[in-house]
């Protein structure tokens, strides 16, 4: 696997144009039918290889703990790939917290895409989506 020292990923926000909760999935998340639009507002994620798992969000009040979606995504990536490594993640927040604009979800997706590139894992989009659904 080809390995890079760092990767930068942009994670776009979105607006819901229509949203309907149609049920609850086995994992407790809501099953949704929705129409959404990506917008120009985006967060910048910088991922660097590291022996440890670290998360920083300069200037943000979002908790940095194991409940954070970026941390969950990184752990799920390592679990899926079997890589014994770490990653240093810096998220430059731009999306308002708890505004329903997918800031946390986009960050988690960005972590998966970035780690795939950073570690040269060559996972398909389907595999990344499956990891993200866990």
| Rounded-to-5 percentages of helix, strand, coil across the chain | 30, 40, 35
| Alpha carbon separation from 118 to 40, 73, 121 (Å, rounded) | 25, 14, 8
SS3 33: strand
Q: Strands 86-92 and 53-56: what pairing?
A: parallel
Give me the pLDDT at residue 3, please. Answer: 60
Give me the pLDDT at residue 95, please. Answer: 84
Give me the pLDDT at residue 2, please. Answer: 57
* pTM of structure: 0.88
Residue 21 and residue 29 in contact, taking contact as beta carbons nearer than 8 Å:
no
Mean pLDDT for the stretch of residues 78-86: 94
Distance CA 20, CA 33 (A): 5
Q: Which residue has the tokens 């149609």?
A: 22
Give me the pLDDT at residue 23, please. Answer: 94
pLDDT in tens, 20-52: 999 998 888 888 898 989 899 999 999 999 999
pLDDT in tens, 63-72: 888 899 999 9
Domains of the chain are 6-12+40-132 (3.30.230.10)
């Amino acid at each position: 696997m080809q390995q890079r020292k760092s990767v930068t990923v942009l994670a776009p926000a979105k607006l819901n144009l229509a949203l309907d909760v149609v049920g609850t999935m086995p994992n407790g998340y809501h099953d949704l039918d929705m129409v959404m639009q990506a917008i120009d507002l985006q967060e910048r994620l910088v991922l660097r290889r590291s022996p440890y798992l670290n998360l920083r969000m300069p200037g943000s009040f979002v908790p940095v703990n194991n409940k954070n979606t970026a941390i969950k995504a990184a752990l799920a990536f390592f679990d899926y790939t079997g890589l014994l490594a770490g990653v240093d993640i810096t998220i430059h927040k731009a999306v308002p917290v708890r505004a329903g604009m997918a800031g946390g979800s986009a960050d988690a997706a960005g972590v998966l895409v970035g780690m795939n590139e950073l570690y040269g894992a060559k996972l398909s989009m389907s595999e990344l989506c499956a990891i993200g659904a866990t």
